[in-house]
């Protein structure tokens, strides 16, 4: 049984910088989605019994770039056209952002975490695959699982971003947003007519889910994921139970 333990969300770098200089020092070199996801993960780890052994599931952003990376792209393209790529040197951090599930690696380094991990990519609807993987890892014996995600509205210019982190445990503990234990029961999917309104985003759907859980009063919750947060092929319902 997978129980929600802790949740954190960040949308504002200025707040992170002001409230937690240590966190800011750790995350400032990254792009916006990674900064926000890492800051959120840092927050929820205070509720973990052993951050070194938490199983990590990290959702890569659907908009993985940054304004700086796009500027590099323009530079590469223009210099390729006039045959002057030879002496161009790119900031290695930009390459790492393009290559790696960077929040997962940076989290592991921060917490000395060598545990099992799963990196999910930046495709629409992967957040729900992440929740399914949480249930599977707990069923298979993990004590705690971290699900983290950061994303932004656009990658090519200064954008709004969201970073979230959810900590799950096999043991029931009160989940702060509703002050009761909340159990993640299952994810239900059903084929739907292909939706054209999908807005790929790693974190927004999970943020909405937690808001729905916090405002719900009944013991059984069936959260129907809005079509824009799905993969466009299947409807998704997240089934949860609150315990007294």
Partner 1 sequence: MTNHRNFASQVHEADRRRVVITGMGSLSALGATTRELWDGLLANRAGIRTVSRLVASGIVVTTGGEVEAVPHNQIDRDFEIADRAIRHALRESDRNPAECGFIWSTGLDTFQAGLDDPAAFVHRSAGQCFSALASRFVEPQRMIAAACASGTQAVGEAFRLIRKGRIEACVAGGSSVMLTPFYLIGFAGLQAVAPDNGGPPSAACAPFDRRRKGFALADGAGALVLESLASARDRGANIFAEVLGFGMSQDAFDLNRPCEDGAGAELCMRRALKDAELDATDIDAVNAHATATYLGDLAEATALRRLLGSNWQRVHVSGVKGAIGHAMAAAGAIEAIVSARTVQTGIVPPTVNLIDPDEGCELNHVMGDARDVNARTVLSVSFGMGGQNAALLLRRFSS
Does 65 engage in binding with partner 1 (CB under 8 A)?
Answer: yes
Binding residue (CB under 8 A) for partner 1 from 39, 44, 64, 242: 64
DSSP class of residue 221 equals E
Residues 13-32 that bind partner 1 (CB under 8 A): none
Minimum separation from the CB atom of position 119 to partner 1 (A): 4
8 Å CB contact between 167 and 146: yes
Binding residue (CB under 8 A) for partner 1 from 98, 159, 185, 239: 98
Binding mask 102-141 for partner 1 (x = CB under 8 A): x-xxx-xx-xxxxxxxxxxxxxxxx--x--xx--x---x-
Helix H segments across 82-151?
Answer: 92-99, 102-111, 126-139
Residues 173-192 that bind partner 1 (CB under 8 A): 189
Give strand ranges (E) for 28-116.
Answer: 55-59
Q: How many Å apart are CA 78 and CA 70, to the nearest integer?
A: 12
Q: Smallest Cα–Cα separation from 142: which of 109, 110, 118, 120? A: 118
> Please, which residue, 85 or 243, has the CB nearer to partner 1?
85
Does 54 engage in binding with partner 1 (CB under 8 A)?
Answer: no
Q: How many Å apart are CA 203 and CA 60, to the nearest integer?
A: 10
- Hey, what are 126's tokens? 């992967």
Interface segment toward partner 1; rule CB under 8 A; list 83-91, 171-179, 206-214, 218-226: 83-91
Distance, C-alpha 93 to centroid of its chain: 20
Does 5 engage in binding with partner 1 (CB under 8 A)?
Answer: no
Q: Smallest Cα–Cα separation from 113: which of 105, 103, 123? A: 105
- Hey, what are 76's tokens? 């590469």
Binding residue (CB under 8 A) for partner 1 from 232, 235, 237, 239: 232
**Residues binding partner 1 (CB under 8 A):** 56, 60, 62, 64-65, 70, 72-74, 76-81, 83-86, 88-92, 94-96, 98-102, 104-106, 108-109, 111-126, 129, 132-133, 136, 140, 155-156, 189, 200, 231-234
């Amino acid at each position: 049984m997978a129980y929600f333990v802790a949740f954190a969300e960040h949308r504002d770098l200025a707040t992170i910088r002001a409230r937690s200089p240590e966190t800011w020092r750790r995350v400032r070199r990254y792009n916006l989605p990674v900064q926000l996801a890492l800051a959120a993960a840092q927050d929820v780890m205070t509720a973990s019994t052993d951050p070194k052994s938490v199983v990590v599931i990290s959702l890569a952003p659907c908009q993985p770039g940054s304004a700086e990376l796009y500027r590099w792209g323009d530079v590469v393209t223009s210099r390729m056209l006039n045959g002057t790529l030879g002496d161009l040197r790119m900031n290695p951090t930009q390459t790492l952002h393009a290559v790696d599930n960077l929040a997962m690696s940076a989290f592991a380094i921060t917490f000395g975490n060598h545990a099992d991990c799963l990196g999910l990519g930046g495709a629409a609807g992967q957040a729900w695959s992440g929740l399914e993987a949480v249930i599977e890892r707990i069923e298979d014996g993990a004590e705690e699982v971290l699900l983290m995600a950061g994303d932004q509205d656009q990658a090519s210019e200064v954008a709004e971003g969201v970073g979230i982190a959810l900590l799950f445990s096999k043991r029931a503990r009160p989940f702060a947003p509703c002050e009761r234990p909340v159990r993640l029961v299952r994810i239900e999917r059903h084929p739907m007519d292909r939706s054209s309104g999908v807005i790929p985003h790693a974190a927004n759907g999970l943020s909405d889910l937690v808001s729905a859980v916090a405002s719900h009063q009944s013991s059984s919750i069936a959260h129907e994921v809005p079509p824009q947060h799905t993969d466009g092929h299947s409807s998704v319902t997240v089934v949860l139970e609150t315990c007294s």
